[in-house]
């Protein structure tokens, strides 16, 4: 079973003689993801009677060549021979042990964290951050080559007392994949302690859309806690991405603001304008959505401070001499000349596929309302969006609308971090 955004914050209290940094720097570290038992060999037959809670650090001194079934026979993992910092040794089954990833396989955007020192609070002032993973396979078939791989990747923070906390940042299984796409360490809560600002993207098997989640983890009173999570995805219909792609999020000290243009079924449109319904399949009404969260020190969470705001989307025309059309058709009656300085209200996106010779293309129109109250249609590439974070992205979309939204994408960042004390490293 895939473990999304799991944090383990408990550990075993033991007397230790080894040094966490030494074990980590020797490339042989492993840490428990949940309570585990220590066995005399690589089977379940001879338990030592010793168990360890999540967050316990081990030195990996050996492993089996093969993968073995778990108790439920649903998955297969290796056994690892381990030694505790106190000198105890034995074997642990690999479904509960995250093992340090080889440096050669760590993506460039994670190398800034691997084996690096960071200062947090309450016992984690001198912590070492490193990358670990569990790897195995789902046990669906008798022939192993038919069984799909299974993996989970973790960002591990270990203190000088060999205690670790973990953030699940990636993985894959038969259902799909997910991975860390962006990570920043900055103080969002204003307490002087670094917080992890992470973006994780995922894709499910059989689905074309990429999902993105923004998550913030913070050390609060010595524990690592998820204090904020927001899905960034914007959709046009089912699995199709919206022309706006993702929500725009602005993070400043103790405040998070979310904004985006929403493409909705016109029956759910909340503005006081006629939508001139033509075809549910060909059109979506448009609203500008904003909401804000504020840090609540008492609850150790970000909470909404205003109700969601839905307002009209404003635009101006790009050229002098444009007129409104009665219908979304270039041969339709033209009846109202537009003032280029006037604010237009964009009510609806309307599209249809057309063909020029052998080439298919998408014709897109906006239903707009002029300041004088008249409504009509205008080609979507003839307007400039006003007062909106997605303006440049949407103007690029409407300049050449794709015939299939599945392939619409952008490399721009949708998360902005402003005026925060930068306590470490930021990367994309």
What kind and span of H or E run contains 392?
helix 391-399
Q: What is the DSSP letter of 396?
A: H
Q: Whole-angstrom Cα distance, residue 367 to residue 346?
A: 6
Q: How far apart are CA 42 and CA 412, in angstroms?
A: 49
What per-residue confidence (pLDDT) applies to 199? 95
Domain locations in the chain? 7-241+289-310+421-427
Name every residue whose Cβ is closer than 8 Å to that of residue 16 and which is 6 or more positions away in sequence: 84, 85, 86, 161, 162
Distance (Å, whole) CA 36 – CA 276: 63
What are the tokens at 317?
A: 């025309």
- In the DSSP assignment, the letter for residue 333 is P
Tell me how far apart the alpha carbons of residues 96 and 34 are, in angstroms, rounded to a whole number.
Answer: 6
Cα(20)–Cα(124) distance, rounded to whole angstroms? 12
171 within 8 A of 180, measured Cβ to Cβ = no
Averaged pLDDT in 10-residue chunks for the chain of 428 residues: 34 45 86 95 93 94 93 89 90 96 87 91 90 93 86 94 93 92 92 93 86 94 91 90 96 96 96 94 96 94 93 93 93 90 94 84 95 95 91 95 92 86 43
Long-range contacts of 208-214 (CB under 8 A, 24+ apart): 208/239, 208/406, 209/233, 209/235, 209/239, 209/240, 209/241, 209/406, 210/241, 212/181, 212/246, 212/414, 213/5, 214/249, 214/415
Which of 269, 346, 268, 277 lies closest to 312, judged by CA? 346
Residue found under tokens 């026979």: 73
The pLDDT score that the predictor gives to residue 5 is 34
This prediction's pTM: 0.88
Q: Is the C-alpha dihedral spanning 35, 38, 43, 45 positive or negative?
A: negative
User: What is the 3-class SS of 8-28, one letter each residue?
Assistant: ECCCCCCCCCCCHHHHHHCCC
Query: Residue 420: its pLDDT value, please?
Result: 61
Output Rg (C-alpha) for the chain, integer angstroms: 27
Distance between CA atoms of residues 257 and 293, nearest Å: 6
- Hey, which bits of 101-221 come out as E strands? 116-118, 127-138, 149-158, 164-173, 176-187, 195-204, 211-220
Q: 69 to each of 66, 80, 138, 152, how far by Cα in Å?
A: 10, 14, 9, 17
Name, in order, each residue with C-beta under 8 angstroms of 278's C-beta and a sequence gap of 6 or more: 328, 350
């Amino acid at each position: 079973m895939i473990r999304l955004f799991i944090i383990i914050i408990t550990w075993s209290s033991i007397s230790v003689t080894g040094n966490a940094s030494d074990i980590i720097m020797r490339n042989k570290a492993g840490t428990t993801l949940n309570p585990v038992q220590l066995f005399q060999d690589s089977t379940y037959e001879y338990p030592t009677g010793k168990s360890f809670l999540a967050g316990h650090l081990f030195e990996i001194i050996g492993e089996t060549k093969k993968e073995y079934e778990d108790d439920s026979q649903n998955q297969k993992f290796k056994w690892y021979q381990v030694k505790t910092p106190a000198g105890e040794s034995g074997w642990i089954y690999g479904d509960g042990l995250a093992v340090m990833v080889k440096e050669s396989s760590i993506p460039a955007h994670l190398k800034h964290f691997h084996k690096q020192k960071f200062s947090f609070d309450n016992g984690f002032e001198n912590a070492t951050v490193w990358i670990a993973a569990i790897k195995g396979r789902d046990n669906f078939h008798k022939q192993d080559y038919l069984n799909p791989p299974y993996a989970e990747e973790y960002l591990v923070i270990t203190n000088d007392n060999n205690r670790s906390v973990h953030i699940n940042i990636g993985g894959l299984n038969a259902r799909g994949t997910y991975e860390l796409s962006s990570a920043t360490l900055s103080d969002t809560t204003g307490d002087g302690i670094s917080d992890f600002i992470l973006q994780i993207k995922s894709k499910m098997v059989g689905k074309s859309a990429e999902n993105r989640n923004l998550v913030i983890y913070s050390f609060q009173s010595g524990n690592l806690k998820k204090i904020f999570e927001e899905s960034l995805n914007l959709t046009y219909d089912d699995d199709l991405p919206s022309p706006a792609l993702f929500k725009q999020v602005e993070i400043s000290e103790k405040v998070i603001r979310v904004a985006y243009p929403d493409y909705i079924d016109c029956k759910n449109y909340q503005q006081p304008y006629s939508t001139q319904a033509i075809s549910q399949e060909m059109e979506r009404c448009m609203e500008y959505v904003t909401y804000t969260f504020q840090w609540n020190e008492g609850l150790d969470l970000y909470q909404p401070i205003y109700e969601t705001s839905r307002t009209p989307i404003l635009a101006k025309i790009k050229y002098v001499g444009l007129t409104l059309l009665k219908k979304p058709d270039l041969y339709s009656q033209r009846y109202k000349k537009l003032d280029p300085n006037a604010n237009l209200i964009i009510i609806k996106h309307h599209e249809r596929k057309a063909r020029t010779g052998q080439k298919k293309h998408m014709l897109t129109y906006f239903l707009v309302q002029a300041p004088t109250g008249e409504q009509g249609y205008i080609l979507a590439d003839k307007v400039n969006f006003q007062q909106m974070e997605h303006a440049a992205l949407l103007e690029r979309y409407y300049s050449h609308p794709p015939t299939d939204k599945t392939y619409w994408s952008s490399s721009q960042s949708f998360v902005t971090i402003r005026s925060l004390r930068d306590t470490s490293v930021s990367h994309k």
